[in-house]
């Protein structure tokens, strides 16, 4: 409760301190490190917006969970106390049901398939799904593939997860996946994970290479198994309260700046991914590549279960046929 009170107080102070002028300040909060390629892409949006708007639009970014966890900042967007955020599609599924499809394990054939889906009508359908919940999806950022990292031994097969407590995001899909693979899913906020790993609250976690590296989780977890179970993109989201208050011209500037940032972010991501893997290897992490088929077979029941949701099942079939 205290955490929520503090969060609202900080947002109120930020809003109260805004200068009364012709400049519109857009407040964006997220949970990543400032060196993360996603943060750098959003910073580029701010620079581009200033240029396009001749200084009438200004982007203020609050990184590293300064304003709360992904779930908390989405709730701030819904009530109009915050303008924008970046969240994982796995967190977004709690607010926009169609996002659940993108968090399923082994959904995409490869990165090119993912980009084709996300940049097309299917991706737009998912982005639009949050509007009735006061959330407007703006774009997808590359977040690579998520894989398991652990403290005591590498995950070479699903059996290596048996009895292991694995940190997951606040996502039913992520929890179902780890359960199907034999592990014990444990939701913990990103900001608390380093300590949880260090103290043995969990035995491991799963994430992409840049996040594994920049979080310094490699200092605790010396095994990284690139089984690449999910390609869960990050999503840039705006509050509909904020968006609807923009003029048509301001909305156009925003859309153009966001679109430009996507290509920039993907380039940054490719570099960061390669650098992260090289860096953790140098730090003594054993990086292995287990066969994906054994993991894919274990999560097949998740697709069978979705048949009970005809709309979501139809969306998945469209993605696979893309």
pLDDT tens, residue by residue, 194-251: 999 999 999 999 999 999 999 999 999 999 999 999 998 999 999 999 999 999 999 9
| Packed helices 248-282 and 37-52: angle between N→C axes, nearest 10 degrees | 150
Here the contacts of 242-249 (C-beta below 8 Å, separation 24 or greater) are 242/26, 242/77, 242/80, 242/83, 242/84, 243/136, 246/24
Q: Which residue has the tokens 């390669």?
A: 274
Return the CA Rg of the chain.
19
Backbone angles phi, psi at 226, to 5 degrees: -80, 70
pTM of the model: 0.88
Structure tokens at 241: 């309260």
* Amino acid 14: pLDDT: 53
Judging by DSSP bridges, how do beta strands 84-88 and 146-150 pair with one another?
unpaired
How long is the chain? 322
Structure tokens at 298: 């274990």
How many CA atoms lie less than 13 Å away from 178 in the CB half-sphere?
A: 27
* Amino acid 170: pLDDT: 87
Residues of the chain with pLDDT under 50: 1, 5, 16-20
* Amino acid 18: pLDDT: 45
The span from the CA of 132 to the CA of 121, in Å, is 19
Q: Are 231 and 114 in contact (CB under 8 A)?
A: yes
Structure tokens at 306: 């979705």
Closest CA to 62 of 89, 115, 25, 97: 25
The span from the CA of 174 to the CA of 172, in Å, is 5
Backbone angles phi, psi at 57, to 5 degrees: -120, 135
């Amino acid at each position: 409760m205290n955490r929520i009170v503090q969060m609202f107080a900080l947002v109120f102070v930020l809003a109260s301190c805004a200068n009364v002028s012709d400049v519109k300040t857009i407040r964006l909060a997220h949970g990543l490190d400032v060196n993360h390629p996603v943060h750098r892409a959003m910073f580029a949006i701010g620079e581009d917006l200033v240029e396009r708007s001749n200084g009438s639009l200004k982007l203020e970014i609050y990184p590293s969970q300064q304003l709360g966890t992904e779930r908390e900042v989405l709730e701030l967007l819904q009530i109009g106390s915050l303008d924008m955020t970046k969240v994982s599609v796995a967190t977004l599924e709690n607010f926009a049901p169609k996002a659940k499809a993108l968090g399923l394990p082994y959904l995409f054939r490869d990165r090119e398939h993912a980009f084709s889906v996300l940049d097309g009508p299917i991706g737009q359908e998912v982005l639009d799904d949050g509007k009735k919940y006061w959330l407007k999806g703006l774009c997808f950022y590359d977040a690579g593939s998520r894989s398991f990292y652990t403290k005591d031994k590498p995950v070479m097969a699903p059996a290596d997860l048996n009895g292991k407590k694995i940190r997951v995001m606040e996502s039913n899909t992520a929890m179902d996946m780890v359960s199907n693979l034999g592990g014990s899913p444990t939701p913990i906020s990103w900001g608390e994970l380093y300590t949880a790993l260090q103290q043995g609250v969990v035995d491991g976690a799963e994430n992409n290479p840049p996040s594994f590296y920049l979080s310094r989780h490699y200092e605790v977890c010396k095994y990284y198994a690139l089984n690449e179970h999910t390609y869960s993109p990050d999503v840039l989201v705006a509050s509909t309260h904020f968006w609807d208050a923009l003029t048509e011209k301001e909305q156009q500037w925003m859309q153009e700046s966001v679109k430009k940032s996507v290509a920039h972010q993907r380039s940054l991501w490719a570099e960061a991914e390669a650098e992260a893997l090289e860096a953790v290897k140098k730090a003594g992490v054993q990086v292995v590549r287990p066969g994906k088929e054994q993991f894919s077979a274990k999560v097949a029941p998740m697709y069978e279960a979705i048949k009970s949701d005809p709309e979501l099942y139809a969306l998945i079939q469209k993605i696979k046929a893309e």
